[in-house]
Structure 1
Amino acid sequence: MSAAFALPPRAWAMLVLTEARMVVRDTAGLVVPLGLPVLIMVMNGIGAGGEGREHFRGLPALDAFVVPLTIVMVVALIGVVNMPSFLASYRKAGVLRRLSVTPAHPASVLAAQVVVSLAQALLGVALALLVARLAFGVSMPRAPFTAAGVFLLAAAAMYALGMVVAALAPTPNSAVAIGLVLFFATMAVGGGFGGRGNLPGWLDAAGGHLPYGAGLDALSDAWTGAAPDPAQLGALAGTAVLAAAVAARTFRWS
């Protein structure tokens, strides 16, 4: 794996640029990372309606809960569903196998794809926040640096889980199917369909430490200026490390 990172900076830049061009050519593939965040934000913003008048730590529910929920939802969908399907399609097309006999190790392609995918997620979230600000008057986080750190930590956890999906899925379609099951399962117990208070106590506690729930709670805390729960931050970091290790051990290049 270390050979994957032995490429000079210029080669890395060219590899990332090539990946970006391939993604841009797939116009339909840009709908999820760029169009979906805006759509989700608009739907949640309109749906908040009366909830927007409720306040949490001095902020409307739309700011304190709906916006963080939307951001985590977007990152989870891109990291767990969208990216693995690209990597599985590379394996099916034999791209990774052919790269294994060139100086560009297949792992470098995986890294470049993650970089490009994360850039799409950042752009999609930025567009969604711009729409939320202009259309619904949403405020920016009270603790912006904490929010940025939580976002990156949640993204690391989601993308690591996505790498596990890509490692285990034999085909692009199965990658999408497995990713969707994982996405909706973590979303359901993480508060994506409503407050976790309606869940049994043990499931509520578990959901709060799975990537979706932990990311949502920590980002909501940062948005309202509160300190995130260290246990939830640890859960995100632990998921990222553990899932990355599993993906590295099980990933198949062909």
Structure 2
Amino acid sequence: MTWIFALAVPPLLLIVFGAIPAFREADPALGGLRVIDLYAPILVAVGVTILAVYSLPQQFAGYRERGVLRRMRTTPVRPPALLGALLLLFTALGVCTLALVLVLARLAYGVPLPAAPLAYASAYLLTVLALFSLGLLVAALAPSATSASAVGLVLFFSLAFFGGLWIPRDRMSDVLRAASDLTPVGAGVQSLQDAAAGGWPSLLSILVLMGWTIVAGGSAARLFRWE
């Protein structure tokens, strides 16, 4: 039931961060923004990350390990159809997490809704594609659900760090920020923040997200095993 974890963690973290008084005060060093304003897009990306690199690989590797995919070859429902259904399910769960975080942030802490909704949706879609491609690569390589969970957990904490979960990207050093820009979560968070402020994702962020999608997705397609 890792999808419950994905739905619950971002809103709960938002409540925890929102309970810190200093996070609700405008910071001149952040251009007048509050730390809680920065965390809304970060937590949206964290929700996608949980689903993409932890839940999805574990689920699909488990199906392969138990022989579910092999048995499906003898039925009218083909394994690729199951993969498509899982991707749609986890995408829908990610959208639910997005809505929960944005609504809670707005109602509880006065965080403005994205100033450029179309740009925000585009940034979110690019982030989903990049992270799900990475998750499919993990699913392709992991021999079991246990190994998929272990790899996914390490990936999640690493990506969450570069996405700014522990140190918001605006407060990272220049070197760490540059490294973050090249990760799918870092580029995704930057794209979401740009759209939240009324702009469009930068060319660098778009290229990084598309690069992860093409490389990880292409590798997953070549290496994927149904049995």
TM-score by length of 2: 0.90
The residue type equivalent to 1:81 in the other structure is Y
2:74 matched residue in structure 1: 101
1:38 matched residue in structure 2: 11
Is 1:194 matched up with 2:174? no
The residue type equivalent to 2:111 in the other structure is V
CA–CA separation in structure 2 for the residues paired with 1:52 and 1:75:
25
1:167 matched residue in structure 2: 140
CA–CA separation in structure 1 for the residues paired with 2:145 and 2:110:
39
1:75 matched residue in structure 2: 48
2:198 matched residue in structure 1: 225
CA–CA separation in structure 1 for the residues paired with 2:162 and 2:103:
29
How many residues end up aligned between the 2 structures?
224
CA contact (8 A) 1:45 1:66 kept: no
List alignment gaps of at least 5 residues for structure 1.
1-27
CA–CA separation in structure 2 for the residues paired with 1:134 and 1:69:
18
- CA drift of 1:122 comes to 0.9
The residue type equivalent to 1:164 in the other structure is L
Is 1:145 matched up with 2:121? no
How much identity, in percent, do the aligned residues show?
37
SS in 1 for 2:19: helix
TM-score by length of 1: 0.81
Equivalent of residue 36 in structure 2, options 32, 51, 62: 62
CA–CA separation in structure 1 for the residues paired with 2:162 and 2:92:
28
The residue type equivalent to 2:137 in the other structure is V
1:4 matched residue in structure 2: none
CA contact (8 A) 1:57 1:224 kept: no
CA contact (8 A) 2:119 2:199 kept: no
CA–CA separation in structure 1 for the residues paired with 2:89 and 2:103:
21
CA contact (8 A) 2:24 2:109 kept: no
CA contact (8 A) 1:214 1:235 kept: yes
CA 1:155–1:100 in 2, change beyond 3 Å: closer, same or farther? same
Alpha-carbon displacement from aligned partner over 1:199-232 (angstroms, at most 9, x marks no partner): 462x432321210110111111111123321111
CA–CA separation in structure 1 for the residues paired with 2:73 and 2:86:
16
CA contact (8 A) 2:7 2:47 kept: no
CA–CA separation in structure 2 for the residues paired with 1:78 and 1:99:
24
1:244 matched residue in structure 2: 217
1:216 matched residue in structure 2: 189
List alignment gaps of at least 5 residues for structure 2.
none
CA–CA separation in structure 2 for the residues paired with 1:253 and 1:62:
43
1:14 matched residue in structure 2: none
